[in-house]
Chain A
């Protein structure tokens, strides 16, 4: 009985406070979750600039952990679309994306408006995304590669 009473008391005292901290736990920081398989890419200027682009343009939907929201915003972390469709990925970041796609077996049909990034920023943010969290890609995206992708 005493135990139950203290639980109730605890609820009274801390019931409201828990709200903020819960989210802190839910979203681990960007660094913690990434695996440095190709340190030369993660230490590159392109990757560093790409992280800033990500924070500016991508984070609100794809979230800090790159996991997106299942069924709404496709994940970038562990995305088969990203790892298998290099050209399409560049195209999507360069010109936006519309219409249905399938990522890790889930269907997505949302519009990603054109972001208005420079070709260099497209390369940078892709280098960030493709080498963050559990993602790793040996071959960095180059400016030339981005330039070559046409609408």
Chain B
């Protein structure tokens, strides 16, 4: 009888723990990851990229751009003019895959360009001449401008074929933008490195379509990687009070926002009861409650054995670095690293394998894996 009770109770507990992705599921790390400060004195370092000479370029949300090398931080001038409002600002920065030959640097930012009031997300490429940006070309500018403060996106990656992918959030117009391919916002875009549109993009030739769109039905993707083994583009995106997601981007696919979501309205109240629908892609992972994910890195290096082959995701809300242990496309274990570190904005693996993490109000730190002390039996 007694053993029956135990069995029943443990079944009940297992049922509870199996169903949600509540934050009770996040575990204390089995690894010992610490950090060291690399670049301090930054406000909100939104993006970072690594130059072949061992330096780093850092974008501040406020619009400033810094070059950092050998402990010296230098202000770069002539970057894009930024529309400062809400979550807008200077956002991501990456290098062209053939940067050493052509010198192109790509930046995303919120821009007031255009006639109407407000702003929207733009992509620019430019070259660096000393400490000055030159040869500036705006490759994409989303329309219309709006004074809404939310959801500009915007991360970028180049894939193995040299296409540039970038994200734009729904710009606070969830019922107008994400499900409409004739409107910007709530999309992942794919363009050529010069801003022209690949002729095999999924909506080329459709009436009034924004032909740079590659996938739609997104809310606000602020993390993006090129998976080094599969060559796929993966994004993470913010859900509304629950329902943050990791999605694997497929050509022409609909990721469902706001028709299906695990989130709900701020202040309570359902957006929809549905979390899945035919014709809409399910996330490979979702978070309830939201961690507010920003930045994402796939750990390719063998410099951190415990992290290799896994994902790192920043949490703006809970101020830690999340280590998602992966088995293919499945998150098999979640670990909270560096709890209390601060609002994690971006994560990148540097050319030598060192992993850099940008923390709001702090600066950029690098991860250090420590030997785990084994207790003697």
Which residues of chain A in 1-25 are interfacial with respect to chain B, using CB atoms and an 8 Å cutoff? Answer: 1, 4-5, 7-8, 11-12, 15-16, 19-20, 23-25
Chain B: minimal CB distance from A9 (Å): 9
Measured in the bound complex, the distance between the Cα atoms of B89 and A111 in whole Å is 15
Q: Mark A24-60, 1 if CB is under 8 A from B, else 0.
A: 1111111000000000000000000000000111011
Chain B: minimal CB distance from A122 (Å): 13
Q: List residues of chain A with CB within 8 A of the CB of B19.
A: 15-16, 19
Question: Given the known A-B contacts A19-B288, A111-B360, are A29 and B268 also in contact in the complex, defined by CB atoms under 8 Å?
Answer: yes
Which of B12, B88, B268, B269 is within 8 Å of A8, CB to CB? B12
Which of B43, B266, B268, B319 is within 8 Å of A72, CB to CB? B319
Q: Mark B355-377, 1 if CB is under 8 A from A, else 0.
A: 00000110000000000000000
Question: Given the known A-B contacts A109-B361, A111-B361, are A27 and B5 also in contact in the complex, defined by CB atoms under 8 Å?
Answer: no
Q: List residues of chain A with CB within 8 A of the CB of B8.
A: 4-5, 8
Interface flag for A98 (CB, 8 Å) = yes
Interface flag for A115 (CB, 8 Å) = yes
Chain B: minimal CB distance from A55 (Å): 7
Chain B: minimal CB distance from A28 (Å): 7
Contact in complex: B266, A60 (CB < 8 Å):
yes
Of the listed residues B1, B86, B289, the one surrounded by the most CB atoms of chain A closer than 10 A to its CB is B86
Interface flag for A64 (CB, 8 Å) = yes
Which of A7, A16, A72, A116 is within 8 Å of B149, CB to CB? A116
Chain A: minimal CB distance from B173 (Å): 11
Question: Given the known A-B contacts A11-B12, A16-B19, A115-B149, are A27 and B85 also in contact in the complex, defined by CB atoms under 8 Å?
Answer: no
Task: Count residues on chain B whose CB falls below 8 Å from chain A CBs.
Answer: 42
Chain B: minimal CB distance from A35 (Å): 17
Contact in complex: B267, A12 (CB < 8 Å):
no
Question: Given the known A-B contacts A4-B5, A8-B11, A11-B16, are A114 and B267 also in contact in the complex, defined by CB atoms under 8 Å?
Answer: no
Q: List residues of chain B with CB within 8 A of the CB of A109.
A: 361
Of the listed residues B150, B268, B317, B319, the one surrounded by the most CB atoms of chain A closer than 10 A to its CB is B268
Interface flag for A70 (CB, 8 Å) = no
Q: List residues of chain B with CB within 8 A of the CB of A20.
A: 242, 264, 270
Chain A to chain B contacts (Cβ below 8 Å), 26 pairs: A4-B9, A5-B8, A8-B12, A11-B12, A16-B20, A19-B19, A19-B20, A23-B241, A23-B268, A24-B268, A24-B269, A25-B268, A27-B267, A27-B268, A30-B267, A60-B292, A64-B266, A64-B268, A110-B361, A111-B361, A114-B84, A115-B85, A115-B149, A116-B84, A116-B85, A117-B85
The 7 A-B residue pairs with the shortest CB-CB distance, nearest first, are A116-B85, A64-B267, A16-B19, A111-B361, A24-B268, A116-B84, A11-B12
